[in-house]
Amino acid sequence: MKILVINGPNLNMLGKRDKEIYGGKTLAEIDSLIREQGEALNIEVVTFQSNSEGALIDFIQEQADSASGIIINPGALTHYGFSLRDALADTKLPLIEVHLSNIYAREEWRAQSVIAPIAKGQISGLGWRGYIAALRALVAQLRGEG
Ligand code: DQA
């Protein structure tokens, strides 16, 4: 089983960017914790980050046929990324949306997600542990565990 874990614009700056909001870990550290969880679950995890919506879409289109599910933190594209949403919807793959911060407790414009309506679920505000929780939940659902 292969799960794609995708991060959008500015998430390459984790570790430097607004640490009180996003935590102190770099994306490389978070990706490695996700990969460790993947090994524990005996699945393949492919991680990808881009600052460009087009590159995210290209990656999704290239990988979708061989993947079983997607975990994505779309960054600010969450709030207006309709092309990204269409690409994710076209895959027909189960999807979990993750945010490090609680997008409902910040500026009003962050409380709207154009991705959430096509997601199985959303985890917002649990920091890097949100990715781990999403991976465990997605794999359990795909395995039909109750
Ligand atoms: C974010 C929340 C977004 O509003 C913001 O633009 C980000 C990160 C989060 O993980 O909390 O880049 O997706």
Report which ligand 1 atom has the smallest distance to the Cα of 21.
11
User: How is the beta sheet containing 44-49 ordered, strand by strand?
Assistant: 44-49, 2-7, 69-73, 95-99, 121-124
99 catalytic? Reply is yes
Instruction: Confirm or reject: Cβ of 99 under 6 Å from ligand 1.
Output: yes
| Residue 129, SS3 per DSSP | helix
Instruction: Confirm or reject: Cβ of 45 under 6 Å from ligand 1.
Output: no
Kindly list the structural domains of the chain, giving each domain's residue range(s) and its CATH number in brackets, ordered by start.
Answer: 2-142 (3.40.50.9100)
Report which ligand 1 atom has the smallest distance to the Cα of 125.
11
CA angle 130, 21, 136 (to 5 degrees): 5
Work out the pLDDT band at 146, boundaries 50, 70, 90: confident
Instruction: Confirm or reject: Cβ of 23 under 6 Å from ligand 1.
Output: no
What are 39-83's pLDDT values in tens digits? 999 999 999 999 999 999 999 999 999 999 999 999 999 999 999
CB atoms within 10 A of CB 32: 13
What are 84-138's pLDDT values in tens digits? 999 999 999 999 999 999 999 999 999 999 999 999 999 999 999 999 999 999 9
